[in-house]
Chain A
């Protein structure tokens, strides 16, 4: 029952070439920097994992986190709503050179597609994007006189997530707005790997306060003083 792992390297060791990888965070809030950098380190050392599809709201910023993955060349495609940032060089250069794919998804649709996958719902209808270029090719249906676009669930092989507290069963809390997509991604991925500032014994998180129940979590790593991506970017850090 103990889901703890002892190092970032061990936590990301099972991620395979070609995987669909959901990464928690919105901008720098909630970005699991240590897990991402362990994955980049593994790629630099071994050439694997590569050809990844990465799902995140954004497409990296500066020279750390997802931007470092893109810089390293291990990302084949981004699925996101807003691939711009204060320093979007990593994605922009590869996108304009046609070296990386992009599936642009409205933010609420992105969240709901992830949630739907976690809830076992293969498709749903939403008015979002109806009549726009992002709805091209998608089925449209009318309900009660209004037009809706069919959207499919978005499943992943692995999610890597930053939490505030975790217990050894994988129950999670988050910090402030760092929650964002993470609870949904834990539900939608086959394997959810979590770094938490503190890992505690079962019972130490009040059940009333659990945000992500442990059933959605597979591995928990304690990272006591986690790097904050926005702070890294503002201080000009590079992986």
Chain B
């Protein structure tokens, strides 16, 4: 089945629309990082990185990097006015103490009860967890940005995660390439979907039941290519 879908940038754009002015935000490595590019006009979020910086901005120009000034993905960053440095225990007090407003993460699987699997897919290789298990329990709002299905077409939204868990019942909202879906009382509730896709097709690409309230919005993102 060939279905229309949002690009990664468009998924990130949609997630950015829900970040309020003045929010303190942590973005996971990879697709979530794109969210920072699409802050709506007139709003300013303050970005947090686990390794001890609040208020960082874009990457510096090539050749201008200062490798003592990096983010959790080990990429060079710049500072915005009002930035601050702090040690790792303070950084994770911001996370685990419930001070962060929003954390946006990637996912291998999200279950209908809000369980997240995003750190390893099996028992082979070198396991690495970083700060994901901390972030899912700290931020006031924890959301996922992801393709709706895996590269080989399998659902990433499932009844129960089969990959090792990052956290239990921690995800509130999922922004996918096809839909915006909330986790409410142990089930997926559809909030928005691409107008081009039918409910039946969306359900067939989703590994758990989708509750559809009376009003389901159109998921429309600007052309960002």
B45 vs chain A, min Cβ distance (A): 19
Shortest Cβ distance from residue B86 to the other chain A in the assembled complex, whole angstroms? 7
User: Is the pair B128, A108 in contact by a Cβ cutoff of 8 Å?
Assistant: no
Which segment, of B89-97, B147-155, B180-188, B198-206, faces chain A?
B89-97
Find chain A residues with CB under 8 A from B167 CB: 130-132
The CA-CA distance from A85 to B126 in the complex, in Å, is 11
Interface membership of chain B positions 39-51, coded 1 if the CB is closer than 8 angstroms to chain A and 0 otherwise: 0000000000111
| B126 partner, pick from A95, A127, A182, beta carbons under 8 A | A95
With an 8 Å Cβ cutoff, the count of chain B residues facing the other chain is 38
Whole-angstrom distance between the alpha carbons of A179 and B125 in the complex? 30
Cross-chain contact B69 with A180 (CB below 8 angstroms): no
B128 touches A81 (CB 8 A): yes
Q: Which residues of A contact B66 (CB under 8 A)?
A: 176
Query: Does B128 lie within 8 Å of A104, measured CB to CB?
Result: yes
Tell me if B164 and A132 are in contact (CB < 8 A). yes
Contact indicator B74/A86 (Cβ below 8 Å): yes
Interface membership of A29, Cβ < 8 A: yes
Q: A29-B51, A29-B69, A177-B68 are in contact. Are A134 and B86 (CB under 8 A)?
A: no
Minimum C-beta distance from A55 to chain B (A):
12
0/1 string, B97-129, CB within 8 A of A gives 1 = 000000000000000000100000000011111
User: What residues on B are CB-neighbors of A111 within 8 Å?
Assistant: 87-89, 91-92
Interface mask (A104-123 → B, CB under 8 Å = 1, otherwise 0): 11111111101100000000
Given contacts A27-B70, A184-B89, contact A128 B134 (CB under 8 A): yes
B52 touches A (CB below 8 Å): yes
Interface residues of A toward B: which range?
35 or more
A29 adjacent to B134 (CB under 8 Å): no
Q: How far is the CB of B138 from chain A (nearest CB, A)?
A: 8
Known: A91-B126, A108-B95. A228 touches B67 (CB 8 A): yes
Asked whether, in the complex, the Cβ of A181 is within 8 Å of the Cβ of B88, the reply is: yes
Q: How far is the CB of A22 from chain B (nearest CB, A)?
A: 12
Distance in Å: Cβ of A141 to nearest Cβ of chain B: 15
B168 within 8 A of A: yes
Residues of B within 8 A of A108 (CB): 50, 88, 91-92, 95-96, 131, 133-134, 138
A28 at the interface (CB under 8 A from B): yes
Contact of A179 among B52, B126, B128, B129 (CB under 8 A): B52
Shortest CB-to-CB span from A230 to chain B, Å, is: 4
Instruction: Assess A176 versus B134: contact at CB under 8 Å? Given A114-B89, A132-B165, A132-B166.
Output: no
Using A107-B129, A177-B52 as known contacts, say yes or no to A184 and B87 having CB atoms under 8 A apart: yes
- B38 is an interface residue with CB less than 8 A from chain A: no
Structural contact, A112 and B131, CB atoms closer than 8 A? no
User: A134 contacts B129, CB within 8 Å?
Assistant: yes
Q: Distance in Å from the Cβ of A123 to the closest Cβ of chain B?
A: 16
- Taking a contact as CB atoms under 8 Å apart, the answer to whether B96 and A127 are in contact is yes
Complex Cα–Cα for A132 and B136 (A): 12
Q: Are A83 and B126 in contact (CB under 8 A)?
A: yes
User: Are B87 and A92 closer than 8 Å at their CB atoms?
Assistant: no
Please indicate the chain A residues that have their CB under 8 angstroms from the CB of B85 in the complex: 174, 176-177, 179
Say whether, besides A81-B131, A106-B134, A177 and B126 are in contact (CB < 8 Å): no
Are A107 and B134 in touch, CB under 8 angstroms?
A: yes
The answer to whether A129 has its CB under 8 Å from any CB of chain B is yes
Instruction: Give bound CA distance, A79 to B189, whole Å.
Output: 40
Q: Is A106 touching B129 in the complex (CB atoms < 8 A)?
A: yes
A88 to B167 alpha-carbon distance, docked (Å): 26
A interface with B by C-beta (< 8 Å) = 26-30, 57, 81-86, 88, 91-92, 95-96, 102, 104-112, 114-115, 126-134, 174-184, 211, 228-231
Among all A-B residue pairs, the 9 with the closest Cβ atoms? A108-B92, A108-B134, A230-B67, A111-B88, A131-B168, A107-B131, A106-B133, A127-B137, A115-B89
Query: Can you name 16 A-B residue pairings with CB atoms under 8 Å?
Result: A26-B52, A27-B51, A57-B51, A86-B74, A104-B127, A106-B134, A107-B50, A107-B88, A108-B138, A109-B133, A112-B96, A176-B66, A177-B69, A177-B70, A179-B52, A182-B87
Q: A29-B67, A108-B134, A129-B133 are in contact. List 13 more A-B contacts (CB 8 A).
A: A26-B52, A57-B51, A82-B128, A102-B126, A106-B134, A108-B50, A130-B167, A132-B166, A177-B68, A179-B86, A181-B87, A181-B88, A229-B67
